[in-house]
C-alpha cells in the first residue's frame, strides 16, 4: 500500500485505497508522505483522530525516518480560545449558569499559559460546556485584521504555523468549509501543497455535500440578535430601537421553531411550506431580519463591531431569501429540525462535478483511504459520487483470520423490519447471546426511537434474569465518556445509534458481541434522498441499485468493523434483519463483509462465544 501511495505522489495521480482493519494504513500513507519532501495536507474524519495523528503517529514515523519535516495541526476557529471574546466575556460577566461562570477563570488562566489555545488541551472544562460559545469566535463574529488581538490570535498563530510546515493535519469539516467559504486556513495551504491525503475517506460525500451547499441556522440568527444587542449597548446607547429590533428577531426565530411539534425531523421545502403557521412565522422572521439589517446599516459607521453585525445581517438575509426560492435546479432545499432549533439547507443534488473541479486546480496527488470504500470490491459508486473519474483504485484485505476470529449470525424466524414489535424481537433474539458473552456487547440501532425502546426492554430483561451488567445508553454522557466507561467496567453493554457505527475502537475482551438491528438503508422520505431518487429515475437509472444499496453496504461495513480490532480479538456479529437472507440483494451485502464464519443457529453463536470467553 505504501508503495502504491509513493508512486501516486511521485506521478501526481489520484488513488482510492481501501485497506481492511489492521492493515496499518496510517503508516502506509505517513511514510511516503514524509519521504516525498513536498508539502502534504492530511485530512481525517474527526478531531480525535486528528489529535492522535499529530500527537502520536506522526512523531513516531518522523523519528523512525529521522525526518526533519515540520508538522502542524490546524482546526476550525471554534476550537481555539478567542482573546477578544474572552475579554468581552470577562467584562460583561453574563452567563446562563453558575457552572459557566465558574469555568471562566480556568479558561482565562489557560489562555495565559497555552501555546496553542486549543480548547481540547483544557480537560477541566467539558467540550460541551456552553461557556465555550462565549469565548470562541465564529466566521460571522470574527473581527479579522481589525481585531486588537490579531497578532496574538491563536487561530492566526495556528494558520501561520501551518503555512510554514511540511505536513499539516486538518479534519474533513475544516477542509471543505474552507474550500467552500475561502475562510483562510486550508484554502491558503492548497496552492503550495503537493499531496492531499484523506483518511476515513468514506465520510467525504456527506461532509462535502454539507459544505458545497448553503445553510442558515436558527443559532446564526439568534447569535446575530445577541451580538447586535451587546454592540448596541456599547456603541449606540442612545439608539434604543436597535436592541429592541434584535429582541424582536430573537423571539421571531424561537417562535418559528415552535410551529413544529416534533423533536427532530428532516422535511422537504414543499412539506414545510404547506404548513400555514410556519409560512406566516417565516414572514415574521424575514421582516424582523430586514428591520434589524436596516438599523444596523444606519449605525455601522459608529464602530467596527456594528459594521460587522450589519454585514452578517446582510449575508443572512440573502441566505434567507434564497432558501424560499422555489425554482427547480441542482439544489435541494429542506429544513432540519433539531431539539432546540432548526437549519434551512440548500444541498446540491451531486457534488461530483464540484469536487472534480477542485482536483483539476493545480498539479498535485490525491489519496483517498478507508476500510470501507467499495461494494464487493467495486469502487464505482464511491468514485462517481466524488467525481474521481480518472482515479486508480486498489484494495488490501485485512490480515486478520476472520474465519477463526468471528462468526456472522443471522437469526431465524425474525419478522420483517417494518413489522410492529420488531425491536422487541431484536432484543429477545439477542438476549441469549448477551448472556453468553456476559455483557461485553454493542447493540447498534438505525433509529433513536428503536435505540431507546431496546434500552428499556433490555434493562427489564436483565433484571428478570438477575444480571447486573452495566447498561449504557448513547446520550447519557459524551461519546468519549461512554467509551471510557465501557472499556473500564467489566461486562458493560452499550445501546447506541448511528454515531457509534464508526470511529470507535474497543480492542480485546471488553467487546465480543456486536448486534445490528437492521440493514442501514436511509429513510426513503428523507428530503435529500427523495430528491436524488427522483433525479436518478429521470436519468433512467435504478436508484436502489445505484445509490441506496451501495450506501447501505458501506455503512454496514463500518458497523461490522467495530468487532475485530486486533489479531487476538474474537466475537459474534449478529445482524437481525431477515432481508440479508431473504432478498436477492442480501448476498451482495454479506459478501462485502469480512469473510467470517456464518451461521443461522442460535446454539452455534452461543457456543462460539462461550468457548472463547476469558475464564473470569
- The CATH code of the domain that includes 165 is 3.40.50.300
pLDDT at 183 over 70: no
If you average pLDDT over residues 470-475, what whole number do you get?
93
pLDDT digits (tens, 9 = 90+) for 22-37: 899 999 999 999 999 9
Q: pLDDT class for 216, splitting at 50, 70, 90?
A: very high
Give the helix ranges, DSSP H, for 204-268: 204-212, 218-235, 241-257
At 192 the pLDDT is 82
522 & 412 share domain: yes
Whether residue 344 sits in one domain with residue 354? no
Average pLDDT rounded to a whole number, residues 156-177: 92
Q: Look at residue 200 and tell me whether its pLDDT is greater than 60.
A: yes
Q: Which residues contact 380 (CB under 8 A, 6 or more apart)?
A: none
- Co-location of 511 and 377 in the same domain: no
Using 50, 70 and 90 to split pLDDT, how confident is the model at 186? low
* Beta strands in 251-400, from DSSP E residues, in sequence order: 265-268, 331-337, 342-348, 365-370, 392-396
| Number of domains observed in the structure of the chain | 4
Q: Are residues 269 and 178 part of one domain?
A: no
At 505, the pLDDT band (50, 70, 90 cuts) reads: confident
Quick one: 479 and 469 in the same domain?
yes
pLDDT, mean over the chain: 91
Task: Select from 348, 383, 414 the last residue of a domain.
Answer: 348
Q: Who contacts 190 (Cβ-Cβ below 8 Å, separation ≥6)?
A: 41, 179, 196, 361, 362
Q: What is the pLDDT of residues 332-369, one digit of tens each?
A: 999 999 888 999 999 999 999 989 988 888 889 999 99
Region 316-337: mean pLDDT is 88
Residue 187: the pLDDT is 67
Which range of 7-11, 446-450, 503-507 scores highest in mean pLDDT? It is 7-11
| Best-predicted range by mean pLDDT (185-189, 237-241, 322-326, 336-340) | 237-241
375 and 483 inside one domain = no
Residue-level pLDDT at 327: 66
| Mean pLDDT, rounded, for 151-163 | 92
Question: 177 and 56, same structural domain?
Answer: yes
Residues 166, 236, single domain; the answer is: no
Collapse the DSSP code of 16 into the 3-class scheme (helix H, G, I; strand E, B; otherwise coil) and give the result: strand
Q: For residue range 268-287, list pLDDT tens digits in order.
A: 999 999 999 999 999 999 99
Query: pLDDT tens for residues 380-425?
Result: 999 999 999 999 999 999 999 999 999 999 999 999 999 999 999 9
The CA–CA distances, whole Å, from 389 to 370, 383, 432, 485 equal 18, 6, 48, 44
Residue 491: how many CA atoms within 13 Å on its side-chain side?
Answer: 10
- Domain that residue 547 falls in: 402-612
- Chain Cα centroid distance, residue 136: 20
Query: In this predicted structure, what is the pLDDT of residue 239?
Result: 94
pLDDT at 184 (0 to 100):
52
Note the pLDDT of residue 181: 65
| Helices and strands (H and E) in the chain: how many | 28, 18
185 and 264 fall within a common domain: no
- pLDDT at 14 > cutoff 60: yes
Same domain, 163 and 41: yes
Q: What is the pTM of this model?
A: 0.88
424 and 472 within one domain: yes
**pLDDT tens-digit series, residues 538-578:** 999 999 999 999 999 999 999 898 899 999 999 999 999 99
| Cα–Cα distance for residue pair 614/600, rounded to 1 Å | 24
Give the per-residue pLDDT at 328: 64
Does residue 616 surpass a pLDDT of 50?
A: no
Lowest pLDDT segment from 63-72, 146-155, 385-394: 146-155
468 SS3 class: coil
416 and 500: one domain? yes
Q: Which residues contact 591 (CB under 8 A, 6 or more apart)?
A: 376
Q: pLDDT value at position 389?
A: 95
Count of all residues that appear for the chain in the document: 616
Q: What is the CATH number of the domain that holds 337?
A: 1.20.1440
pLDDT at 59: 96
Amino acid at each position: 500500500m505504501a508503495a502504491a501511495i509513493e508512486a501516486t505522489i511521485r506521478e501526481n495521480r489520484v488513488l482510492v485505497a481501501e485497506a481492511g482493519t489492521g492493515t496499518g494504513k496510517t503508516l502506509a500513507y505517513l511514510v511516503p508522505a514524509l519521504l516525498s519532501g513536498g508539502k502534504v495536507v492530511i485530512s481525517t474524519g474527526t478531531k480525535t483522530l486528528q489529535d492522535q495523528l499529530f500527537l502520536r503517529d506522526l512523531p513516531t514515523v518522523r523519528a523512525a525516518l529521522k525526518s526533519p519535516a515540520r508538522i502542524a495541526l490546524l482546526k476550525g476557529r471554534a476550537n481555539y480560545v478567542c482573546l477578544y471574546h474572552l475579554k468581552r466575556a470577562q467584562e460583561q460577566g453574563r452567563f446562563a449558569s453558575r457552572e459557566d461562570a465558574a469555568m471562566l477563570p480556568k479558561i482565562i488562566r489557560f489562555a495565559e499559559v497555552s501555546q496553542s489555545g486549543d480548547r481540547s488541551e483544557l480537560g477541566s472544562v467539558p467540550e460541551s460546556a456552553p461557556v465555550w460559545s462565549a469565548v470562541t469566535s465564529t466566521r460571522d463574529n470574527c473581527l479579522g485584521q481589525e481585531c486588537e488581538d490579531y497578532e496574538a490570535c491563536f487561530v492566526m498563530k495556528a494558520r501561520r504555523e501551518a503555512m510554514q510546515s511540511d505536513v499539516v493535519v486538518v479534519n474533513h469539516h475544516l477542509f471543505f468549509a474552507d474550500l467552500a467559504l475561502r475562510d483562510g486556513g486550508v484554502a491558503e495551504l492548497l496552492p503550495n501543497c503537493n499531496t492531499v491525503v484523506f483518511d476515513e475517506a468514506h465520510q467525504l460525500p456527506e461532509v462535502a455535500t454539507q459544505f458545497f451547499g448553503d445553510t442558515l441556522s436558527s443559532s446564526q440568527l439568534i447569535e446575530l440578535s445577541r451580538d447586535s444587542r451587546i454592540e448596541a449597548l456599547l456603541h449606540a446607547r442612545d439608539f434604543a430601537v436597535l436592541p429592541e429590533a434584535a429582541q424582536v428577531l430573537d423571539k421571531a426565530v424561537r417562535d418559528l421553531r415552535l410551529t413544529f411539534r416534533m423533536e427532530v425531523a428532516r422535511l422537504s421545502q414543499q412539506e414545510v411550506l404547506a404548513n400555514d403557521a410556519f409560512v406566516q412565522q417565516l414572514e415574521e422572521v424575514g421582516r424582523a431580519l430586514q428591520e434589524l439589517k436596516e438599523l444596523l446599516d444606519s449605525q455601522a459607521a459608529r464602530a467596527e463591531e456594528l459594521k460587522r453585525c450589519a454585514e452578517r445581517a446582510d449575508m443572512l438575509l440573502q441566505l434567507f431569501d434564497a432558501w424560499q426560492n422555489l425554482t427547480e435546479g441542482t439544489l435541494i432545499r429542506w429544513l432540519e429540525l433539531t431539539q432546540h432549533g432548526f437549519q434551512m439547507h440548500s444541498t446540491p443534488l451531486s457534488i461530483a462535478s464540484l469536487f472534480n473541479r477542485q482536483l483539476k486546480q493545480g498539479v498535485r496527488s490525491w489519496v483517498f483511504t478507508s476500510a470501507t470504500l467499495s461494494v464487493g470490491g467495486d469502487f464505482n459508486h464511491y468514485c462517481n459520487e466524488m467525481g474521481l473519474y480518472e482515479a486508480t483504485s486498489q484494495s488490501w484485505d485485512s490480515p486478520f483470520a476472520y474465519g477463526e476470529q468471528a462468526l456472522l449470525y443471522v437469526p431465524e424466524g425474525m419478522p420483517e423490519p417494518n413489522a410492529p414489535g420488531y425491536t422487541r424481537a431484536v432484543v429477545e433474539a439477542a438476549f441469549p447471546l448477551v448472556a453468553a458473552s456476559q455483557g461485553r456487547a454493542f447493540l447498534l440501532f438505525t433509529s433513536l426511537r428503536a435505540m431507546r425502546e431496546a434500552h428499556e426492554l433490555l434493562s427489564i430483561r436483565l433484571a428478570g434474569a438477575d444480571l447486573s451488567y452495566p447498561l449504557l445508553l448513547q446520550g447519557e454522557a459524551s461519546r468519549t465518556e461512554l467509551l471510557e466507561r465501557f472499556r473500564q467496567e467489566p461486562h458493560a453493554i452499550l445501546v447506541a445509534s448511528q454515531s457509534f457505527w464508526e470511529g470507535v475502537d474497543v480492542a480485546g475482551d471488553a467487546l465480543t458481541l456486536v448486534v445490528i438491528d437492521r440493514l442501514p438503508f436511509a429513510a426513503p422520505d428523507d428530503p435529500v434522498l427523495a430528491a436524488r431518487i427522483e433525479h436518478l429515475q429521470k436519468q433512467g437509472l435504478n436508484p436502489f441499485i445505484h445509490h441506496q444499496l451501495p450506501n447501505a453496504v458501506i455503512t454496514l461495513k463500518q458497523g461490522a468493523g467495530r468487532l475485530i480490532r486486533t489479531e487476538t480479538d474474537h466475537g459474534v456479529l449478529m445482524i437481525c434483519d431477515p432481508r440479508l437472507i431473504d432478498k436477492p440483494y442480501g448476498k451482495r451485502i454479506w459478501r462485502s463483509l469480512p469473510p467470517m464464519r456464518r451461521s443461522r443457529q442460535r446454539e452455534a453463536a452461543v457456543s462460539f462465544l462461550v468457548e472463547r470467553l476469558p475464564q473470569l
